[in-house]
Amino acid sequence: MVLPIVDQHRPKCYLCSDVFKNIEELRKHQEVDHKDFVEFHKDTSKRSPAPGDVTVF
């Protein structure tokens, strides 16, 4: 598969591959069209170290 080189500087939605003029439009798109996905992954307080992670002091 060959991907086009045009519009590489524009932000792209990783869920539906739509291209936007700026990052603000991308954020609005994701908050409206992919609201369930964004809400599910928004809470970062649940994160904890994975099994086998090592903390270096």
Write out pLDDT tens, residues 27-48. Answer: 999 989 999 988 887 776 667 7
The reported pTM is: 0.59
CA dihedral angle for residue 12, residue 15, residue 18, residue 23, rounded to 10 degrees: -40
Within-domain flag for 53:
no
Q: Domain range for residue 20?
A: 8-41
Within-domain flag for 23:
yes
Q: How many domains does the chain have?
A: 1
Mean pLDDT of 11-20: 89
Within-domain flag for 25:
yes
Mean pLDDT of 12-17: 88
Which has the higher per-residue pLDDT, 21 or 46?
21
